[in-house]
Amino acid sequence: MNDRLSTVRERIASDDGDGRLPNRRFVVGVLALLVLLALPVGTGPLFLLKMTGAFYFAIFAMSWDVVSGYTGNLSFGHSFIFAVGGYTAALLTLDAQLSPVVSVLVGVLAAIVAGLVIGFPALRLRGPYFAIVTFLLPSALTGLFVLYKGTFGGELGLPSPAYLLDMNGQVATITANYYLALFVFVAMFALLFAVTRSRIGEILTAIRENEDAVASSGINPVKYKLLAFELSAAVGGFGAALFVHTPIGGANPTQLLAVAVSINVLLATILGGIGTIVGPAIGGVVFYLLRDSLDSISWNIPVLGVSFSSLDLILFSIIILVVIYFIPDGIVGGVQQTARRLGGPDEESAMTDGGRSTLERILTRYRRDLEEDWGERNE
């Protein structure tokens, strides 16, 4: 028994990076952080602005991953949370003249409440139903914002509230906001990483894998699913509340509420590696920068005599569509291997895995849920 026990303890120790040789992934992470910290030295304010946006988007993606990647219920309307957090904060700063710091805190609270709104119905709905309900929620909110255009600014959104950090001069402000975004990004990453690698994370992934098995182990799945929702709402809302108080963000449907936002966090996370936190962190930044880079390509199609300003969005979506369609597991698998090597939870078990990625598990469980509810449908 004892040498078996010590084998088990060894496994865990190597997982924790327990002070022996620094983990390879840890080293890479530190290096990346150093580069990011030094970034303002080598690049101009425009790029810093983009990175700021990328960091906040990555925070959104990570918050999505907590719910969708870890409970296995894919949310198709997470922009609902971001909008609640962002708009609340912006409104408080603008109309109630509260200090941005206070507004942000209240924004987070509002998002947590919104998380309960999604959370409670979600706990009773199976995956596909959950997907549809979450898909519809942002439209409802948009409708509300248009209805009360005076308060919420309708389709154009609200004017920009005061920045959290406003220095003398544009470059200084941008740089300061960059560091703020970096700091929050790292902090949120650390928080979510810690939670998902803890016992709670083990329970969440177990729920994702097989909820009945968890219940029969004497653990109440509802409690933990709710925790995942609230954590997601808090992080997402926090990110959004901060975001609207920066030069690059504002409380408007395009940046916080559109279908595009919801699906972009989904795509970025899937492409980066769902269910890892590291995946959306890296995938979020990369996805955002990629999409942004297409912007700089301006096209002019003579046939229709119209200059396509949204062509970049269309192009980008088509590219992503092709990627997702032709190699839904291929690229994901490849990137996931990379993400795993950089810090996934089931790293060493990849060998005896049988090769089933997290995404595959989630997809399979969806099919199983659907089939259980609706009877045999496919061969």
Partner 1 sequence: MSGMSEASAGGTDRALEPSDGLLVIDRLTKEFGGLTAVDRLSFCIRQQEILGFIGPNGAGKSTVFNCVTGVHAPTSGTVWLDGQEVTGKPPHEMVKLGLGRTFQNFRPLEDRPVVDNVKLALFPDEILSRDGWNRDLDAEAVAICERVGLGEQLFHRPSELPHAGLLRLELGRALATEPTILLIDEPFAGLANLEVEEISKLLVELRDDGLTLVIVDHNMRGLFSIIDRAVVINFGSFVAEGLPAEIKNDPKVQESYLGGERP
Partner 2 sequence: MNALILSAVFALVSLGLTLIFSVGGIFNLAHGVNVTLGAFSAWYIATVLGYNIWFAAVIAIVVPAAFSVLLYKGMIRRIQEQPMTVMTVTLLVELISEYSIREIIGIQSRSVPALFGGIIHVAGATIAVNQAAAFVITWALIAVMFVVFDRSRLGKAVIATSMSARGAALVGIEKDQIQLYTWIAAGALAGIAGLFFGSLRTADWSMGMNALVIAFPIVVLGGMGSIRGTLIAANFFGFLNVFILSYSDPSLSKIVPIIVLILILLAKPQGLLGREVGA
Site of interaction with partner 2 (CB under 8 A): 74, 76, 120-121, 124-129, 131-133, 135-137, 139-140, 142-144, 146-147, 259-260, 263, 266-267, 270, 304, 306, 308-311, 313-314, 317-318, 320-321, 324-325, 328, 362-363, 366-367, 370-371, 373-379
Q: Which of 217, 254, 293, 307 touches partner 1 by CB under 8 A?
A: 217
Buried (b) or exposed (e) across 152-167, using 16+ Cβ within 10 A? Answer: bbbeebbebbebbbee
Contacted by 209, from partner 1, partner 2, none: CB < 5 to 8 Å by type: partner 1
Residue 237 makes contact with partner 1 by CB under 8 A: no
CB of 361 to partner 2, least distance (A): 12
- Coil, helix or strand at residue 301: strand
Which of partner 1, partner 2, none binds 1 (CB below 5-8 Å, type-dependent)?
partner 1
Whose structure tokens read 């962002």?
A: 86
User: Could you say whether residue 46 binds partner 1 (CB under 8 A)?
Assistant: no
The yes or no reply on residue 71 touching partner 1 (CB under 8 A) is no
Q: What b/e string do you get for 331-347 counting C-beta neighbours within 10 Å, with b at 16 or more?
A: ebbebbeebbebbbbeb
Closest separation in Å from C-beta 154 to partner 2: 9
Distance in Å, CB of 198 to partner 1, minimum: 6
Give the CA dihedral 191, 271, 289, 54, nearest 10 degrees. -20
List the alpha helices (DSSP H) in the chain.
2-16, 24-42, 45-71, 79-94, 100-124, 127-147, 149-152, 170-196, 199-209, 211-215, 221-243, 253-256, 259-272, 278-295, 311-326, 330-343, 358-374
| Partner from partner 1, partner 2, none contacting 158, C-beta within 5 to 8 A by type | none
> Rounded CA gap, 287 and 57, in Å?
9
Between 14 and 317, CB nearer to partner 1: 14
User: Chain centroid to CA 144: how far?
Assistant: 24
Integer Cα distance of 80 and 74 in angstroms: 14
Contact code string over 339-368 relative to partner 1, x by CB under 8 A: -------x--x--xxx-x----x-------
Select the span of 30-38, 89-97, 163-171, 218-226 touching partner 1 (CB under 8 A): 218-226
Q: Which span sits near partner 1 by CB under 8 A: 36-44, 200-208, 253-261, 308-316? A: 200-208
Residues that bind partner 1 (CB under 8 A): 1, 4-5, 7-9, 11-12, 198-200, 202-203, 205-206, 209-210, 212-221, 223-224, 227, 346, 349, 352-354, 356, 361
